[in-house]
Chains A and B, each alone.
Chain A
């Protein structure tokens, strides 16, 4: 099947928007050892995420369209829900699958994320082993099974 062949050779890019260094390390480590080849771009705040996606600021001239965005809610400068809203308002970015990946289990954040059209909302487990399990399942679901929107 054509789609599956393309999938196996392409390196997928994941934009990770996460200000907690330890969490970022865990995410990177578990995803990078995944069966599906992928490259993780990690930024530490919402403003940098938008700069990266729009090719401005320190990313001036670069054209980026990650295959998946993992987005924390609580972020410095521009928070995750604002980043989500901004991405969904741009035609060239709006279809990118976005998974909120956050410590916040607040119902208000969950509802707002869905209203702003997050594809999924996942609460980071406190337990390290469970977090790894999550990242393995999340990687499988969004990188292997889920069909990416075409460019």
Chain B
């Protein structure tokens, strides 16, 4: 039996300035036991600051909003992909923006995935569970 697909819970960095969204995301992931640790920051500069201070313990997954105070999500993504320590971390844009320009830019900057937050509460919760399951159970993390 291939045990590889049953992987340990993720260490996640959540970059999200909307309190109610952050709450929903954190609770959704924790309820399903999909994350061992969720670090939540509320703006892009805090995210970059947090990442720059890490050594070996980089997150397994980054959930990144686009519209953020101080440094926006696409700029955070650009910098993550330039950083030797962080450039391989699976990064999922998780944002209200469905603008095609944002989507195209995110992919060109090598976001792994782009998700638009549903307005509907139940769909949002389902999306968080699906997101958590996919990146925990199926996706292989870069070592």
Partners in one complex: yes
B: contact size bracket: 20 to 34
Known contacts: A110-B142, A115-B88, A147-B114. The answer to whether A3 contacts B98 by CB under 8 A is yes
Q: How far is the CA of A94 from the CA of B109 in the complex (A)?
A: 11
* A138, B140: Cα distance in complex, Å: 13
B116 and A121 contacting across the interface, CB-CB below 8 Å: no
A110's contact among B112, B138, B140, by CB below 8 Å, is which? Answer: B140
Chain A contact-residue range equals: 20 to 34
Contacts A120-B90, A147-B114, A147-B116; is A125 near B108 (CB within 8 Å)? no
For window 99-136 of B, CB contacts with A under 8 Å fall at: 100, 103-104, 107-108, 110, 112-116, 119, 127, 130-131, 133-134
Whole-angstrom distance between the Cβ of B4 and the nearest chain A Cβ = 5
Q: Are B116 and A111 in touch, CB under 8 angstroms?
A: no
**With contact pairs A95-B104, A111-B88, A141-B134 given, residues A120 and B142 touching in the complex (Cβ less than 8 Å):** no
19 A-B contacts (beta carbon < 8 Å): A1-B119, A3-B98, A95-B108, A105-B4, A120-B112, A120-B113, A121-B139, A123-B4, A125-B4, A126-B2, A127-B1, A130-B2, A134-B5, A137-B130, A137-B133, A146-B113, A147-B103, A149-B107, A150-B103
